[in-house]
Structure formats: C-alpha cells, structure tokens
Homo-oligomer: A and B are copies of this chain.
Amino acid sequence: MALKTLGAKAAAALDQELMSSSAFSLDQLMELAGLSVSQAIFRLQPPQKGRRILVACGPGNNGGDGLVAARHLFYYGYQPTIFYPKRGKNELYQRLAKQLEDLNIPFVDDFQTAAESTDHIVDAIFGFSFSGEVREPFPAVIRALEQTKLPVTSVDAPSSWDIESGPPKAGLGSAFMPTALVSLTAPKPLVKHFHGRHFVGGRFVSPAIAEKYKFEVPKYEGVDQVVEISAGNQRL
C-alpha cells in the first residue's frame, strides 16, 4: 500500500486551517517545524561527524523553517552558516534572521564558496507552494546541489521538484537527489520519486485534522519532534 501523501493544494489548506480554526500562529508552527528539521539534522549529521551546516533559505515559509532550524542547531553545538539572498518581507522572517544575527551566525552571499567549507547542506529554498520556474539567484544553487558530494537535507521538498510529479524530466534539478528529506506534517506526492532517508516532522497535527485530510500521523517516539519513516511504516 502506498504512503499517504498530501498534495500542494491540500497542504496549503491544512496550513490555513491550522492558523484559523485551530488557532495556531505562524510563529508557533514555524518554531515547531524548524525544531523538527534540526532534530533530523542531529540524527543525520551528529556533531562529532562535522559541525558546519550551510543552510540555504528561500524567500518564503520554507526559508523560515530553515532559519529556525539553524538557531536550534547553534544551541546543539553546530556552526551554522546562512545563505539567504532573497529575504522575505514578512516581519516574522526578519525577526528569525535577527535571532541568528544575535548569535553571530554568519550570513554569506556566495553559496558555492560557502559549500566548499561545510559538512552538510540544508535545502530550505522552496517548499510545497513551489511551482514552475526556479528564479534567480537560485538556479546556480540548484546546480551546486546537483553536483555536490556533501550530504544534503531538503525541507519538505527537494527544491526545484514539482510537488506532485517530482523532479523535472530534464534540465535544472533533474539530477538533484538529496540525501535526506524532512516532510512537514505529511509527505507530499513527490516522495514517490525520492530515494534516501525520509523523516516526518511537525508533531502538532491533531487526530481530527489528520482524519479530515486523510493521512496518518506517524508514530513518534518519546519526546521526539521527528520520526524516520522506514519501509515498514510507509506500508509499501
């Protein structure tokens, strides 16, 4: 049986519902989403295997999740570096960036150079609302992600992939296969095309919401905010 997934429209409706009738604020949800990403990175890249984490952030909520993850990684003892070339205008994103600046976490302008001296890359460029074309300055970043030998963890979606149909058939992004993926709230249809370690995060989906949107909340352990999905509980 296939893993139950949440399409782009349903994911947007779910987010909207969490922030309206479920009364969550974007601050709260982004804090928990970014926290779950940071916990996945801790498992994928324990500090003793290299503490340098380059976080590539896009202009929207996916980038915001990356900013939150970077802050938690700092507190776990990592050395994050942020590539955030198109800063979102939303005041929340500005506050999240300020929180990193207060920790003296460097923001860099040149992704490729930064990627030469890091241990792990977090792709928080585009999330479930991405469609169409990769805009400047991100094409060069996607090419670098296609070519790097370093581990790459994507947040919610490998950037440049279509949420429904997965990687582009040809051209930019068609050769991008991240090492790991952290699906937030529920996997998106693109996971059918993903081969790598797969985590689910966002431990704030109520049983009623999961039922309404017809997906299953995975079984988290203890106080974990993230769970690795094995072939077993994907029910393949």
Contact = CB atoms under 8 A, between A and B. Distances in A.
Q: Is the interface of A mostly helix, strand, loop or mixed?
A: helix
A22 interface: yes
Size category of the binding interface on chain A: 20 to 34
A31 B31 CA distance: 8
Given A32-B31, A102-B206, A206-B102, A220 B25 contact: no
Contact of A75 (B24, B76, B220): B220
A75 B22 contact: no
Interface string A82-99: 000000000010111011
A123 to B, nearest CB: 20
A74 to B, nearest CB: 9
Chain copies in complex? 2
Contact of A25 (B27, B76, B103): B27
A208 interface: yes
A204 interface: yes
B75 A23 contact: no
Contacts of A204: 71, 75
Interface of A: 22-25, 27-28, 31-32, 35, 38-39, 42, 71-72, 75-76, 92, 94-96, 98-99, 102-103, 203-204, 206-208, 220, 222-223
